Amino acid sequence: QVQLVESGGGLVQPGGSLRLSCGASGSIASIPAMGWYRQAPGKQRELVAGITRRGLTNYADSVKGRFTISRDNAKNMLYLQMNSLKPDDTAVYYCNADWFGINSWGRGTLVTVSS
């Protein structure tokens, strides 16, 4: 399993943008699926976006058209570009790697959307 470290969170005003990054300690090229999850205070962790090794993506309905997930297998990096941010997007965002049900998680990065 690889170690995952997220970065890029912070405070942003509604309508703003942030780009989250997730660095892996080893190669991600063979990882079948990676994704971004988030957990808001008092709520369960939820999938925000996922991407397969071949680049197929899926998104939560709440972020479709605003967020874009991407992965750079050569650099062992996963990204989440977040645009048109809303207060409801406030949460801790976690990077995930999934080897056929065996999961690795980062420690998370906090995103706060507030004026």
User: String of b and e for 5-25 (b: at least 16 CB within 10 Å)?
Assistant: ebebbeebeeeeebebbbbbe
pLDDT at 51: 98
pLDDT tens profile 73-93 = 999 999 999 999 999 999 999
pLDDT tens profile 2-13 = 899 999 999 999
Nearest to 99 by CA among 2, 31, 38: 31
